[in-house]
Each structure stands twice: as structure tokens, then as C-alpha cells.
Chains A and B, each alone.
Chain A
């Protein structure tokens, strides 16, 4: 029942997304094809491209053709390179997903223990110095945008020290800087969230009961505290992953990473609308799917949230 409701919601969201990406090319003021090909392009070429996009057809037929195309994996042809857009995406998406998944995992692996540990250390106003240092450092770090950090990392580790490659995707070393640029900010934000969440759990009655059983510290925190911060952690992790997949755009551009984001920027700059349209669709669909999966996982892990989240 819960799953069905969530599936229905996912389907509705995907439909809205599809409509939005379809309408994109129609919302662009003026003639998008003329704009893309330039004022000097011969009229026959413009007409041919318009026909290719189906822009000469009535709008409902265009919509039908578009939906059919998306469902059969035909996303059109690039204006600039004449490649099939679906092929471009299949080529580029894995690199972006690698980066986003790797960054999310590392961010979680660092932020969750850090946040929980600091919550334990600073519970009930213990160690006010640690708390101040933690909030100041994470607050400052979280305010550094990832593209500035990326530029800084290139300057220090690639240009000045020459330890790591400055750009491109070539072997494990080339992952270090992009992943670092993507994780630092999320670690700061996540560990703050997790600390607040863990502090709230530490004040719960069941933690007092667990303390009253005089368990070892390890058991108390690993077995009693950690699973109860899991719901929040999972929610945040889902949001993080969903935001990182399109969020790699800036970092991909700094590091010339052959991912979807870099291609999207190019296509927007070159007014290559079929590619831009498809990338927006793919990004949106990935975000919706990740959110859906997190919801379902939460429903399975914590039966109460399935009832609550209606």
C-alpha cells in the first residue's frame, strides 16, 4: 500500500518532469533552431532541422512523438555533433555517477562518525571548546563553494606542487581532487546535522535506560545511539546524492571531467537544445528516483515512517 502510493507519486513527478523538458524548447523565445544555427545559416538547413525536431507538426503530435521517443530511448540528435543524444548520455552519465556516488560515500563515512563523536563529546555542555571549534570550522568550510575549493585545489596540488593531475579522467589519481572538492562542503554540513540529531537522541529516555543498564560505552553508542540516528542519516544521504549528481556540474568544468555536467554546459553555450533538454530530463529523473528509493528504504527500515510519511 505504502509502496503503491510512493510509486504513484513517482509516476506523477516523472510526468511533470517530462512535460517540463518537452515544453523547454517551446518556451525559448523566438526560433530556437535559427538561434542555434546562427543568422547566416541557409533557410533549407533551418527548415530541415525544424522538421527533424518535429517543430512543423501540431503541438499534440509533437508531445506524443516526444513521449514515444523518450520511452523507446530515442532522445533526438545533437545539433552540433550529429550524434544520437541517447548515446551521448550513455557515454557521459557513468563518469558523473561515479563521482557523485564516491563523494557521497566518503562524505557519509567521515561525517557520521565525526558528528556522533562530537555529539557525545559536547553533550550537556561538556567540552565547550570543542563545540566552538567544531561549529566555527564547519561553518567556515561549509561557506566555501565547491568551485572555489576546486580552483584552490588545482592551484595548490596540481599547479604548485604537481602531485596530482589538474584535469581529465585518467587513473585513480585523477579522482582525488574532484572528489575532495565535492566532499569537503557536504562533510561540514552533514556532520553538523548529524551532531544535532545525535544530541537529540542522547537526551531520549531510552538512552537513560541504556545508561541505567551500565553497558560499556561502545555498546551504548554503537548499538543504541547509532541506529537511531540512521533515519536522519539516510534521509540526508539521499538528499546529498540527489543534489550531487547535478551538483558535479561546476566541479566537472573545473577538472574537465568527461561527465554529463560538462557536456550540458557545452550544449547550453552552443545552443545545442536537444542535448540540453535530454540532460535536464536525465538529471531530473535521477533525482526523483533517488528520492523514491530513499523513501522506500526508510519505510522498510523504520515501519513507523511509512505510516507517518503519508
Chain B
């Protein structure tokens, strides 16, 4: 009952408990004064002896509100029971019937859910006759479709689980699957929702009684009292206020409790703690398109997925960043582009086209990045906005950053689409992304980058989601574009084979740090860091002996929160010595264009 520690559900629980106690005790304690007719005090307003006034027979309204608690709650409980009895079996049907029957059952539920509950309740109330019985039946039936929908959703998630499939394979009957496997597993979320449905029924019944369609005199519930009070609302507003407050408080109680319970059931633990990410910067002057110095990305909770990364990219150069998932390569790219998601904090220096980004205003930053930076992401199926025409998505780059008119921008967009070899570009520009294939979308994304004059292309696994032939076309196009425009490219991939083919230089990242940097020619035979060598060795080629298991790197990468004093790779390294565990090796130059961070590097 962890949920009850927060104030809202606790207040809900107190309210509900209070009303239940009132329902049990109210008629016993105040039953007599609620029924006592007093000719001397008819239709009075507020007075010390009658705080809410009296009704047309001189009965005390406060006592009547208190006594009415029992009937109001009882009717709500009955109507909820009817909703459960009708709704739950209806909702379980679609996951149990054979496909055709299941579709029909789901269709019936859909049709009923779309129909307003109040209308259903009124229909039932007319047929069943005026009075509490008709109202309860009506509200109960009106609540059933929502409950059926809820049950259906819950049951569908359970019905697809492995243990139900296993039971089905074993030939367990549908009825038994429903009773023994499905229902017990959805009971808890259903019960949480019963609290909410109780609140809803209470309100609905009060509404029906308020219209005069529910409880009939001489019986009375809160809705009935409110109806009688409303007739006098201009004279004694407190006569209506009493039952109104009772209805509002009870409904709020059930709602708060129900929502609190539901929230507690779905809560996932979250830690918020500030990270101490004070890292020293390595100050080395550099020319080139991109220069990154001591870049770190920290998240609250102590995770630092990118640590002190230094990187230079020259014009026309294609630099590959490789590493396992979680090595920080994508976040490095996002940090350069200014796209690190909240609440990540970026520290360190990035300069783009010779301009120090930290010295620019937000407006200048947006302009510089918007015109000289082109991004490509992994999944072309989802990176284009499904609600916008492709041409407009390209054109907006130029209308925003180059001040072009819509028409000129669109002309440029068509031209760029042609340049990335999209056939019938004029027609294609008018289409929405869903009419494009995956390869075409990635071409469109490249074309988007070409709308400006890109100095740097950041491609974050741009070919991972594509099949092999399309992959090759996109890589060729990317190389063509860099050759033509002289833009530098940062190519991020976990596929070391693709990197070896496309890039001039390779940067290897491990646990958020750069561990090696080398020209691509040296990658296969000349890598110095044991991690790079292991990556290369894990790559099968035509000569790999396929009777042996494929080479893998044992162990796992440390998480972004772990940061020991030594080399992060030491635990997985064959060459590790005591020195590796004691101190972290710095990234040092050891040859032209080569740097490595390893004590044991040859």
C-alpha cells in the first residue's frame, strides 16, 4: 500500500472510509430526526438547529443528507455489480471465441462503447419504469460497455502471453483458459478500476434521481434531495448545497482513491539525483570543420554516457565512429547537433566551421546548425513527418534558414530530390512519406541535408534499417555528396565492415570514451587497442572458419553510471595487468594520425 503514502489517494481513502461508515451508521443515528415532521419549521433556511434548513414537511435537511448516504452508496454498488456481471464476460469473449466470433464480439463492444451511456441508461429506465430499480439497471447496463472494453484490452494482453499459448497447445478448453489463466491475471487491474466505476455510478444515479427518473418519494437519495433543493435555490441555496457537497465529495473520494491505486500499480521507480560532472578539458588547437574538446554528457542520477570526448573532422573527410550499443557514439553526435534530450547536460567545447558554439546566441546557434549541419537518423520510416508532404518538409529548411519564398524553396526541394536520384521528383515532392519506400525516404533525408550548404553531415546509423542492396546505394550516394560538396561526414555505426568501406578515419568508442583513432587502412591489421582488435576479429569474412563459433567479446560494457579509476575495458581484456585496473590510460599519439588509450598497446 505504498500508494497511500502520497496525499491524494490517502485523502480518497479517508473520504471513502468516512462515507462507508456514514452509510452504516447514518440511518441509525439520524433516521428519526430525518423523518420527524415539524409543522412549525416548514421550508426554513439556514438556522443553528437546521444548518441546511428544512424541507416542505419541516424535516431537517442535514439529517436527510446524512441518512441518504446509505441508499446512494447501496444503489451505486448494485449498479457497479451489474456492470461487472455484464461487462466482464462480454469483454473476455473476444479473446476466447474462434476468430470469426471474436471479431463479432469486438464489433459489438465497439458499437456499444460509442453509444453515450446516459442515453442507454434512460432507455433502460423508461422500459423498466420510473424508480430506483430502473435507474440502477440502466446505469449498470450503461457502465457495462466501458468495462467490457477494459476487460477486452487486458485480456488481449494476457491471451497473447506464452503461458496461455502453451495452455492452448496443450488442448486446455477455452472455458478453462478463461477461468484459470485469463481472469486471475486481469483481476487486479479490474478491481482497481471498480473504484472508479463506483464513483461514476454514484454520479450517474445522482443525475438520474436529480432528473426525477431515479429514486421516487418517499425514498430519497442525494440526487433526489438535490432536485428538491434546486426548486428553492433562489431562496435558500444551502438546501441544494448540502446534497451537492455530499455527491461531490463522495465522487471525488472514489476518483482519488481509484486513480491513486491505478498509478501505484503502474509506477516505475525513478531516481533523480544530480551528477557531478566536472571534467578537465584537453586544450589542443585545431582547424577543420568540426572540433570537439572534452565533450561530456551527463544525466541526473549519475549516468555519464559520454566522457571527455575529443574529435576533429577535416573538410571532405569521412570519419567513422564505431562501438557497441551504449558506447556513447549516438549521444556524442546529438551533443554536437545540440539535440541531447532533457535532462541531459552537455559540457565541453564544440566548434563548428571555426566558430565556438558556446560563444553564440541561441538564434545564431540555430542558424549556424540549421544551414551547415545535416543530420541522418537510423530509421527512415519514422524520421519523416507523416502528416506533411515530403516537398514541404524539405522546403521548410530553406524558408526558415535561407529566407527563401515558399515557391523558390519548393523548386529547390524538387531539384535536390532529383539530385539524390529520385525519379519524377516534382510528383514525389507532393506525396506524403507513406508513399515512399525506405530507401527513398533515406534519400529524401539526404536531400533535406542538401537544402543548405552542409559543412558537416552527421549520419547516425543511416543504413542499419535498410536491406543490403539499398544500403549500398545509400552509402554510394553519401560518398558522392561529400565528394561534391566538400562537406565533412561523421558516420556513426556499429557495423565495422561498413565503416571500413566508407570512411577515411575511424574513431573507436568504449564506455563513453574514445579509446582509439586510426586511419581506415590500419584498421584490419594495425589496430593497437585490444578492444578494436576484438571488434575486428568478431567480424566474419570469407576466410572465417565456419566450423568454429564466431568470435565474441566476453563480458559486458560497464554502465554509464560506473566509472572506476582504471581502464573501462580491463575486465574484458586478455592483456590486462594490475596497472590497467589502477589507472586509466590517457589517449596518446603514437604515430601519424593515430591515437590510442592503452597501457599495453604495442
Contacts and interface: CB of A to CB of B under 8 A. Distances in A.
Contact of A155 (B129, B241, B343, B379): B241
B397 interface: yes
Q: Which of A166, A211, A219, A304 has the most CB of B within 10 A?
A: A211
Contacts of B375: 209, 212-213
A178 B491 CA distance: 61
Q: Which of B114, B241, B343 has the most CB of A within 10 A?
A: B114
Interface string B119-132: 10011011101100
A125 B203 contact: no
B372 to A, nearest CB: 10
B230 interface: yes
A228 B213 contact: no
Contacts of B116: 242-243, 246-247, 283, 287
Contacts of A125: 342-343
Interface in B378-404: 379, 382-388, 396-397, 400-401
Interface in B113-151: 114-116, 118-119, 122-123, 125-127, 129-130
B244 interface: yes
Contact of A145 (B207, B256, B383): B207
Interface string A179-197: 0000000000000000000
A223 interface: yes
A219 B392 CA distance: 12
A165 B136 CA distance: 34
A143 B341 contact: no
A246 B127 contact: no
B212 A28 contact: no
B252 interface: yes
B396 A219 contact: yes
Contacts of B366: 214, 216
A95 interface: no
Interface string A234-272: 000001001100110110011000000000110011000
A37 interface: no
Contacts of A126: 342-343
A29 B131 CA distance: 14
B233 to A, nearest CB: 6
Given A166-B234, A208-B339, A214 B370 contact: yes
Interface in B57-115: 111, 114-115
A224 B432 CA distance: 13
Q: How large is the interface on A (under 10, 10 to 19, 20 to 34, 35 or more residues)?
A: 35 or more
Contacts of B198: none
B434 A139 contact: no
A249 B120 CA distance: 13
A211 B385 CA distance: 12
Q: Identify whether the interface residues of B are mostly helix, strand, loop, or mixed.
A: helix
Contact of A268 (B125, B251, B259, B337): B125
B207 A204 contact: no
B165 to A, nearest CB: 25
B248 interface: yes
A227 interface: yes
A168 interface: no
A243 B116 CA distance: 5
A213 B448 contact: yes
Interface residues of B, number: 67
B8 interface: yes
Contacts of B241: 155
B343 A254 contact: no
A242 B233 contact: no
Given A205-B379, A211-B339, A213-B396, A250 B401 contact: no
Contacts of B130: 268-269
Contacts of A303: 432, 434
Given A148-B244, A205-B379, A124 B396 contact: no
B377 interface: yes
A78 interface: no
Given A126-B342, A223-B396, A224-B385, A249 B379 contact: no
Contacts of A20: 123
A136 to B, nearest CB: 7
Contacts of A140: 252
A213 B233 contact: no
Contacts of B432: 303
Interface in A270-308: 273, 276, 280, 283-284, 287, 291, 302-304
A221 interface: no
Interface in B155-200: 199
A308 to B, nearest CB: 12
A86 interface: no
A84 to B, nearest CB: 21
A159 interface: yes
Contacts of B386: 206, 228, 304
A29 B129 contact: yes
A123 B342 contact: yes
Contacts of A28: 126-127, 129
B492 interface: no
Q: Which of A29, A125, A205, A269 has the most CB of B within 10 A?
A: A205
B210 A215 contact: no
Contacts of B337: 212
Contacts of A29: 129
Contacts of A268: 122, 125-126, 130, 213
Contacts of B152: none
A147 interface: yes
A269 B343 contact: no
A250 B199 contact: no
A39 interface: no
Interface string B200-234: 00010011001111000000000000100010011
B211 A276 contact: no
A210 B119 CA distance: 45
A280 B448 contact: no
13 contacts: A124-B343, A125-B343, A147-B206, A148-B248, A159-B233, A159-B237, A208-B339, A213-B375, A214-B400, A219-B396, A242-B116, A268-B126, A302-B387
Q: Closest 5 interchain pairs by CB? A: A214-B370, A212-B375, A205-B382, A227-B387, A124-B342
